[in-house]
Structure 1
Amino acid sequence: MNSLPDKQLVPLAAHPGPHREAAFEVLVRRHSPRLHRLAAGMVGPGSADDVLQEVWMGVYRNLRGFRQEAQFTTWLHRIALNACHKALAARPSLPLDEAPEPASPHSPARTGEQADLRARLAWALARLPPEQRDAVTLRELGGLDYAEIAGVLGVEVGTVKSRLSRGRAALRELLSAVGVTP
C-alpha cells in the first residue's frame, strides 16, 4: 500500500472494503507531517495536534464526497486551513501590548528561545489578514508551490504572489515590533 499514489489510495480509503483502513492509514502517515507543520504555524504547536485530529476525522467522514477533480493534497490542505481558521476563531486575540516578550539575552536554553520564537511567529501570523496568512502558511510551512497554493485557495497564481509579498512584509513589521529581527 505504501507504494501506491494518492490517486489509487483515495478510492480504496473512501469505500468500505478490505483495504479501507490500511489505505487511510497510509494517507494519514504520508500527509500528517506537512499538515502538522502547517497547523503548528497557524494555531501554535499546542493546538496543532487537535487541529490535525479534526482534519483527519473530517477527511474520513467526507472522503466519499471527494470527486478527484482536484488533487487530493489540494482538498486536504483546504480542509486543514478550514480547521485552523475554526481553531483561531475560537480563541481570544491578544493586543500588541500583550505580545509575548522577547527572550532574555542570557537564556541558557536554546530550545526555550526556539519555543519563544515559534510563539511570537504564531502570534504574528494570527494578526495577518486570513488570505495573506493562508498564502504564507501554505508556502513557508506547508511547502506548497505557487500553483498548488492557487489550487487550494481557488485564486490565480499572480494573486498568490501578491498575497505572499504583502504577508511577508506585514510579518516582518509585526515581528520587528516584538523584538524579532528578520
Structure 2
Amino acid sequence: MRRHAPAVHRLAASTVGPGAADDVVQEVFIAAHRGLKTFRGEAQFSTWLHRVTLNACAHALRRRTALPLDGLPEPAAPHSPARAGEQAQVRERLAQALATLSPEQREALTLREIAGLDYAEISAVTGAELGTVKSRIARGRAALRAWLTRAGVRADD
C-alpha cells in the first residue's frame, strides 16, 4: 500500500478531483484486498492496480452528475499568490478541456500524462490494442490543444 498509494492518489485526483480522491483511494485498496485472489500475475501488479483505480474512479464519477473543474493536483509550492491564481485558472481550463474528450481518450491521456504509464502498460490496463492507445492519446492531445487554443491558453502560460 505504501508503495502504490501515491500513484493511485495522483490518478484518482486527476480523474475525480482532489476532494474525492481520498475516498477513491480507500475504495481501491479495499477492492484490491478483496480481489487479490483474482490477480493472476499475467500483468504487473501496478497495471492491475491501475485498472482497479480506474474502475473505482468510474464508479465515483457515475455517482456524481458532472466532472470536477478542480481535477488536477495542486502545485507543490507556488512562487507567488499571483502565479498561484494563474496556475489555478490554467488547471481549471485544462480540466474543462479534458471533460470534452471521450472517456477513452481521457482515460488514455490520464494514464500517460498523470500516471506516467507507457503505451504497452496503458494497453494492458485498458484492454485496448497498442495502436488504439496511441491513436487515442494523439487525438486526445490534438483535441486538448485545439480547445485550449480557442480558450486563449498559450504554451507559455
What is the TM-score when the length of structure 2 is the normalising length? Answer: 0.81
The aligned residue for residue 83 of structure 1 is 56
Segments of structure 1 that go 5 or more residues without pairing to the other structure are 1-27, 101-106
- Give the AA of the match of 2:50: H
The aligned residue for residue 113 of structure 1 is 86
What is the TM-score when the length of structure 1 is the normalising length? Answer: 0.71
Shift >6 Å, 4+ stretches:
none
Q: How far apart, in 2, do the equivalents of 1:165 and 1:173 lie? A: 12
Shift of 1:56: 1.1
Shift of 1:133: 0.6
Shift of 1:118: 2.4
- Give the AA of the match of 1:57: I
Structure with larger RCO (C-alpha < 8 A, sep 6+): 2
The answer on 1:170 being equivalent to 2:128 is no
Q: How far apart, in 2, do the equivalents of 1:174 and 1:47 lie? A: 26
The aligned residue for residue 74 of structure 1 is 47
Q: How far apart, in 2, do the equivalents of 1:48 and 1:174 lie? A: 26
2:118 to 128, 145, 151: 145
- Give the AA of the match of 1:59: A
Structure (1 or 2) with the larger CA radius of gyration: 1
The aligned residue for residue 55 of structure 1 is 28
Shift of 1:39: 1.5
CA contact (8 A) 1:125 1:133 kept: yes
The aligned residue for residue 134 of structure 1 is 107
- CA-atom RMSD in angstroms: 2.2
Task: State the identity %.
Answer: 63
Segments of structure 2 that go 5 or more residues without pairing to the other structure are 71-79
Q: How far apart, in 2, do the equivalents of 1:45 and 1:76 lie? A: 19
For these two proteins, the number of residue pairs brought into alignment is 145
Q: 1:51 to 1:181 in 2, by over 3 A?
A: farther
